[in-house]
Amino acid sequence: MKLQEFIQRYDGRLTESDQRLVVALFANPAESAFLSATELASRAGVHATTAVRLAKKLGFDGYSDLQQRLREERVEAHDLAERVRLRLDKMSDGAIMAALIESEVRALRQIPEHIPQEQIDKAAEAIIGASQIVLYGRGHSTALVDLMGRRLRRSGLNTIQITHVGWETGERLLEFGRGDALLGFAFRWPHKGLSKLLEHAGDVGATSILISDLIGPTIRPVPDIVLAASRGSLGESQSLTVPMAICNAIILVIAQLDGGKSVESLARLAEIRQHFLE
């Protein structure tokens, strides 16, 4: 079982310090596998004992056992290309644009290492089968809520966009129930509103999908489908390029699986637009 699965299956509470450690751990797994508990904790900005406690929470005898698990997962990936990549990471010639592009491309190429195609397919199938799709995000992720809202509506699907959870949220969720889907976004730190929506989705029998970065496995309640991938190493620019690529992949799979509904809806949209242009 992979280390991310240990984290997802842990049914206890992960503190903010635990979450910081998880983010630091998976920001660069090939390097983290060889960091001591003190070094990893320093990168995460927490006390070294937190790393030991987290390892024991997840069922390991200690941090060294957790570290060994990560090393076993990374042994095949830590080849010549990986070593060259690590060298390039340390190079800096002031070319900001080139460094940014390299960072983004590297993060994009790593997506399949974190998210198998089967998970993308499962998310697409859940969305296709839903009468309503609730989209939730806060902060920068509201841009992704808007993007997916438009793309899904163009595909002929019904969406509800939520960027704030409060007393009025209940009214918007009156018809949300079994067979529907919640698609949430969370980066860096999860908002309490997401936990509330995940709880509600579980209560009514809806499928919950999370698109996230490396905090994904720490989210509670655990979503039905977690699409979590690194947006870049610590210290690098962590933009929305990676989650946007995941969104685009879901949209394309929906079009592939929905029996032509997306294509028909897009054709109808073109007709309606033409009507208003005449």
Residues 54 and 172 in one domain: no
Question: Which pTM was predicted?
Answer: 0.73
- Indicate the burial class of 149 (C-beta count within 10 angstroms; 0-12, 13-18, 19 or more): middle
Residue 55 lies in a domain: yes
For residues 130 and 261, state if they share a domain.
yes
Classify residue 110: in a domain, yes or no. no
* In-domain check, residue 106: no
Reply yes or no on whether the pLDDT at 87 is more than 90: no
Are residue 68 and residue 171 in the same domain, yes or no?
Answer: no
Report pLDDT for 140. 87
pLDDT in tens, 18-32: 988 988 888 777 778
Say yes or no: 223 and 146 in one domain.
Answer: yes
Whichever domain contains 263, its CATH number is 3.40.50.10490
On whether residue 16 sits in a domain, the answer given is yes
- Which residue, chain included where needed, has tokens 């004992």? 49
Same domain membership, residue 176 and residue 259: yes
Greater confidence, 238 or 239?
239
Confidence of residue 85 (pLDDT cuts 50, 70, 90): low
137 plus 271 within the same structural domain: yes
The band of 133, judged by pLDDT with boundaries at 50, 70 and 90, is very high
Ramachandran category for residue 225: left, alpha or beta (phi over 0 → left; psi -120 to 50 → alpha)? beta
Mean per-residue pLDDT, 81-104 = 62
Inside any domain, residue 135: yes
Residue finishing a domain among 57, 74, 91: 74
Residues 130 and 268 in one domain: yes
What is the span of the domain harbouring residue 244? 115-275
Alpha-carbon distance of 191 to 184, in angstroms, equals 11
Domain of 38, CATH number, reads 1.10.10
Number of domains in the chain: 2
Buried b (16+ CB within 10 A) or exposed e, 15-32: eebbbbbbbbbbbbbbbb
Answer whether residue 83 is part of any domain: no
| Residue 69 CB neighbour total at 10 angstroms | 18
Residues 13 and 121 in one domain: no
Closest CA to 234 of 91, 64, 22: 22
Residues 163 and 37 in one domain: no
Q: Are 86 and 30 in contact (CB under 8 A)?
A: yes
Among residues 25, 47, 74, the one where a domain terminates is 74
In a domain, 211, yes or no: yes
Q: Where a domain ends, among 43, 74, 105?
A: 74
User: In this predicted structure, what is the pLDDT of residue 100?
Assistant: 76
